[in-house]
Structures are given as C-alpha cells and as structure tokens.
Amino acid sequence: MTRVVPFGDAAVLVVLEAADEHDPAVIRGVHRLAAAIRGLGDPDLGSPVPGATSVLVGFDPLALDPAEAEARLGPALVGASDERAGDDGLSPLVELPTRYGGTDGPDLATVAATAGLSERAVVDLHASVEYVVGFLGFAPGFAYLSAVPPAIATPRRATPRERIPAGSVGIADRRTAVYPGGTPGGWQLIGRTDTTVWDARRDPPALLTPGTRVRFVPVPVGR
Amino acid sequence: MTQPMTGRAVLEVLDGGILTTVQDGGRPDLGHLGVPLGGACDPWGLAVANLVAGNPPTAPALETTVAGLVLRVLSTALVGIGGADLGAVVRPVGQRLMPGATYRLSAGDEIAFPGPPDGRRGVRAYVALPGGLDVPIVLGSASTCLAGGFGGLDGRPLRRGDQLAARAAGPPAGPELRIGGGATDRASAQTDAPTSVHVLRGPDDEAGAALVALAGGAWRVGVEADRMGIRLDGPTLPPAGPSARPSHGVTWGTIQLPPDGRPIVLLADAQPTGGYPVVGVAISADRPILGQLRPGDPVRFVETTVEAARAALRASDDRLRAAVDELADAARWEELWHGAGG
C-alpha cells in the first residue's frame, strides 16, 4: 500500500508502507511506481525521484496544491502499488569487473577483520549476490545498491576520505556503491572498477539507474 | 568539454573572488540520477539581472558570492546586475553598480565586487549579459554543477583568465534599464531584525515537537553555509523522527535534523536524496531569501499554510510579470525617444 504525504508546497512524498528497504521486491516496487508516475506525462508534475522506500514528486505550486497533486497521481498509484510482485525480468543487468583489495580497495582488510572472515571470503560474498539499484543521491551517478550480505555489512569509516578515485567500490552497512569520482566519501573501499558509472557527456549519463541489476565480477589485480 | 565560444569575449575574469559560477534555472528533471537541482540560489536576483539585460528570467548569468570578483570589460558591454548589493563599482570611474539596473560599460573598465556595504544583508549577486552567457548546455542547463564537475565553465568556479561571451551577437543594442518597486529590497535589507522564513510541515509525523521548537527559537546562520545548504545555530531541537530511516527525495527548502540536533536548510545544490529526519519545509516563495542568508544573520521560522505559501508565490510571480511589462514599456519608450532624436 502507498501513502501520499505533503512535502512543503511544491512536492509530495509517495511512501510504500511498512517496506523493507533492502528487499529487492520493494526496490522494484519503488522503481515501478516512479515509472508509472513518469508515464502519466502530467506537465504540472515534476520528474519523480526514487528513495529507499518512497518516491518524491515535485509539482508546480502555482498550478496545484498538495491535495490536487495527490489526485493527479491516483492512476499511477493504483497500477504500481503491488510492491510484493515478483521480478518482472525487464531490468537491465550490468556486470562490473572489479579489482578487489590492494591500493584499489584499501579497506578490504578492515571489512574482513570486522566480519571475522578472510579477505578472499569477503570478496566471494560481495561478488556472490545480484544487487539492485534502489536510488541515487550524494553525487551525480552515485547509486545505492542493495543488499550487501549481512556477514560483511560494515559501518562507514569514522573519518571520511577527502577525495575518492572514480570507480572505487565501497560498502556502508547493507549497501554498496561505485564512486563516480572527485567527491569525498566515508564508505569502506574494498575494490575498484574501470567501468565509468557517470559521464555528463554520455546519454544516459548514469550507468546505474533505479531498478538496474548489478553484479560485481572479480578480476585479478595487476591484470 | 569546453566548446568554442560563438560570440566575442566581452568580460575577462581578473579575480574569481570567493565563489563565482555560471547559473541558470538548473536541472529540475535529473534528481533520479543523483544530480542536484542547481541553478541560482536566489532565483529572484537572477531574474532581475536577466530582465534588465533584456533576457528571459533564467538565462545563464554569473552568480558571485560575498566578495572578491573582479571583471575586466573587453569590449563595449551592457551588463545587468541583480541579487544582493555586493558593493559593485566600476574602476577607475568609481560608478556604483546597483542591483536592478543595466549599465553600459566600455573596454578597459573593471567591475569589482568588494563586498556588501556596511550593515547590508545579502551574499549573492548576479551579472547578466544580453542573450545570456555563452557557455555549453550540459544535461539541459548551463548551470555549474560543482558536485559533478560539469556545466558552466568546465564544472568549476571562475578563475583568473577566464573569458566570457554573450549569446547575443554584436555590440549591445538594448537600452539601460532599471527595475523599480523594491525589486531588490529583500536581498540587501539594512536591518538587524531577524529574516522571517515561512515553513510548512514536512513528511514526518513525529516532527511536530521539533517544528514547534524551530518556530519558537531564535536562530543564526552558522559558518557552514554554501550552495548546498546552511547550518543553523540555536537551541538543540528534539528528535524529528528515528535516526535510522530510509533515505528519500528532498527539496530546496527542506529543513533536515541530523543527530546533533542542529538543523540544516537545504539550498539549490543539495543532493537530491537524504536520510535525516525532516523538521519542516520552507515555502517556495522564500527560496530567494534563503539564498541570501549569510553566516551570523538572525533568522526566525514562521509556520504557515499551503494557501498562504501559494499566495506568496503568486505575489512574487505577479511582481516578476509586472517588472517584465514595465521594462517592455521602458524599452519601447527609449526606442521612440532615440527614434525621434535621430
């Protein structure tokens, strides 16, 4: 079920009730909801912004108030609210060749120590699951992927790094992400990919968009 | 990703100052890709600079912050000024450049922004050229996205040696214009009184007590203030919701409450999603006010209604339309005057 709550005078938040943010079915539900809202093609509604268990929809406050915006969203909510539906199989799968450890993944040892596992076991676990992009934020192209196996879920570093190299693969609790580059960051860096996740000159500029499925494929360090 | 300028360079940067970027109306449709809205932090100031330069309200212009920008005029130029009064002056003539007006400047002139005159509020001024600044459109906008390193001039602040051209070809033909009616009063108010920011409830059911405390508190803008947001110094607020919660989309004007109890008001360059509880959301009509707050400024928050928020936005929109009409009349009058004289 969805609930629509006002978010100031120019947006409403459509929330999936009682949803587990790491459940792939929930993430696909958010993605379907955003697609359905976009599909309305309503000129007074803004581009939907997925969150972990919600979609933010801006609107033109000169044209609509929050109640009117909610009414305009109605048709999209009816069709997309069944967040327990299975995988529709339509989301693209992206494979990211990743060099784990060493200078590419300076925090792999920390993650291994925290988990009480070998570095090899951490890599195997990280690369063992298929992730889904829940939403983007923090920086252009920075996608939050769910879900890291609980055994290697590791909190952020106490002190963030000032500048993270592009392609760095990080873990923060049950999420993993690929840094687009040039930003600071506090996630535990376990590896690096040469795949470009963000290029403003590319169309589309972001490789990992909400709903995209992702696999990390270990490649030998030093190639 | 710099493309060759199609127009002749009109301005050269001698000093980029504290922070000067190219801004327009931003990128409203790319939040789902992690791209901040961006655009002018004071959209009203941007509109004023553009209107007096004969442009649409969101044409690309310079946004400069507090102090330090120095521009050299390379060829005769018509320059529109908007936003806060940052003490802009033409050297060596000494003529002051006031927000809400255009000025015709000659090759060799220098425009300096030494900082707000004593007692004046405001941090951001806008400099527009006829036709808008000639920079590449990236992802639908000329705005500089500092977080992504794209847009504007190679995604970075302006620095010494940068050259700027106008999209309108040839020497400026427009008249010098001026917007009356207090168009820039709010940005550069001379007052010790707190700036009032109007807020609506946010999405969090549990934020009621925090919102009451926010509206009852005396606040000052903290030293952590940039295009992404401003920290507020004041009483520590009660929690607005559970600290571990699913991230969701946020908007310009969203007032977040991190675990330390010190609220953050998000501005134009805020990241499009966030995980902190939301105390409330500032109304759209107050965005230009938020964009002119300076560290140390006193602020108070006033809870309002959606109806009042929309009325305030309509009033602001009407004022902009009135300014457009007024300028169109002035331009026509000037044409007639010069026509009669010639």
B317 or B272, higher pLDDT: B272
Q: What is the mean pLDDT of residues B153-176?
A: 84
Q: What is the mean pLDDT of residues B285-309?
A: 96
Q: Which two structure tokens, joined as six digits, stand for B256? A: 């977040």
* pLDDT tens, residue by residue, A211-222: 999 999 999 875
Residue B12 pLDDT: 98
* pLDDT tens, residue by residue, B125-152: 999 999 999 999 999 999 999 999 999 9
Residues 6 or more apart in contact with residue B290 via CB below 8 angstroms: B41, B197, B230, B252, B253, B265, B267, B282
Q: Which of A8, A144, A183 sits opposite B200 (nearest CB)?
A: A8
Answer whether residue A223 shows pLDDT above 50. no
| Beta-sheet strand order (sheet of A54-58) | A2-6, A11-16, A54-58, A49-50
In chain B, where the domains are located = 9-188+321-337, 195-304
Residue B180 pLDDT: 58
Residue B215 pLDDT: 96
Residue B338 pLDDT: 56
Answer whether residue A142 shows pLDDT above 80. yes
Q: How confident is the model at residue A182 (pLDDT cuts 50, 70, 90)?
A: confident
Q: How confident is the model at residue B321 (pLDDT cuts 50, 70, 90)?
A: confident
Q: How far apart are CA A8 and CA B207, in angstroms?
A: 14
A-contacting residues in B 204-263 (Cβ below 8 Å): 246-251, 253-254
Structural domains in chain A, CATH included, are: 2-80 (3.30.1360.40), 93-218 (2.40.100.10)
Q: Which of B33, B253, B307 sits opposite A8 (nearest CB)?
A: B253
Any CB–CB contact under 8 A between B283 and chain A? yes
Q: How far apart are CA A190 and CA A212, in angstroms?
A: 21
Q: What is the mean pLDDT of residues B224-236?
A: 95
Task: For B136, name the nearest residue in chain A, comparing CA atoms only.
Answer: A201
Q: What is the mean pLDDT of residues B55-72?
A: 97
Task: For A208, name the nearest residue in chain B, comparing CA atoms only.
Answer: B33
Q: What is the mean pLDDT of residues B187-191?
A: 70
Query: How many Cα atoms within 13 Å fall on the side-chain side of residue A30?
Result: 37
Superfamily of domain B195-304: Cyclophilin-like (2.40.100.10)
Residue B294 pLDDT: 95
Any CB–CB contact under 8 A between B32 and chain A? yes
Residue B311 pLDDT: 96
Question: Which one of A4, A5, A21, A49 would you mutate to disrupt binding with B, by most B Cβ within 10 Å of its Cβ?
Answer: A49
Q: Which residues of B touch A8 (CB under 8 A)?
A: 200, 202, 251, 253-254, 281-284, 309
Q: Do residue A7 and residue B147 have CB atoms under 8 angstroms apart?
A: no
Q: What does the mean pLDDT of chain A come to? A: 93
Q: Which of A9, A51, A206 sits opposite B34 (nearest CB)?
A: A206
Answer whether residue B195 shows pLDDT above 90. yes
Q: How confident is the model at residue B329 (pLDDT cuts 50, 70, 90)?
A: confident
A2 or B179, higher pLDDT: A2
Q: What does the mean pLDDT of chain B come to? A: 90
Q: Which two structure tokens, joined as six digits, stand for B90? A: 């033409």
Question: Which one of A2, A3, A9, A179 would you mutate to disrupt binding with B, by most B Cβ within 10 Å of its Cβ?
Answer: A9
Q: How far apart are CA B188 and CA B225, in angstroms?
A: 18
Q: What does the CA dihedral B70, B72, B78, B84 come to, rounded to 10 degrees?
A: 0
Task: For B30, name the nearest residue in chain A, comparing CA atoms only.
Answer: A47
Q: Which of A51, A138, A139 sits opposite B248 (nearest CB)?
A: A51
**Using an 8 Å Cβ cutoff, are A10 and A61 in contact?**
yes
Find, among B99, B95, B100, B124, the residue nearest to B112 by Cα: B95
Q: Do residue B32 and residue A47 have CB atoms under 8 angstroms apart?
A: yes
Q: Do residue B284 and residue A10 have CB atoms under 8 angstroms apart?
A: yes
- Locate all alpha helices (DSSP H) within chain A, ordered by sequence: 24-40, 66-80, 108-115, 119-126
Q: Do residue A141 and residue B148 have CB atoms under 8 angstroms apart?
A: yes
* pLDDT tens, residue by residue, A39-62: 999 999 999 999 999 999 999 999
Q: What is the mean pLDDT of residues A27-31?
A: 91
Q: How confident is the model at residue B2 (pLDDT cuts 50, 70, 90)?
A: very low
Q: How confident is the model at residue A90 (pLDDT cuts 50, 70, 90)?
A: low
Strand residue runs (E) in B17-84: 20-23, 61-65, 69-73, 77-83
Phi, psi at residue B205, to the nearest 5°? -60, -30
Is the omega angle on the peptide bond into residue B92 within 30 degrees of 0, that is, cis? yes
Answer whether residue B189 shows pLDDT above 90. no
Q: Which residues of B touch A142 (CB under 8 A)?
A: 34
Answer whether residue B7 shows pLDDT above 80. no
Residue B1 pLDDT: 40
Any CB–CB contact under 8 A between B95 and chain A? no
Task: For B250, name the nearest residue in chain A, comparing CA atoms only.
Answer: A56
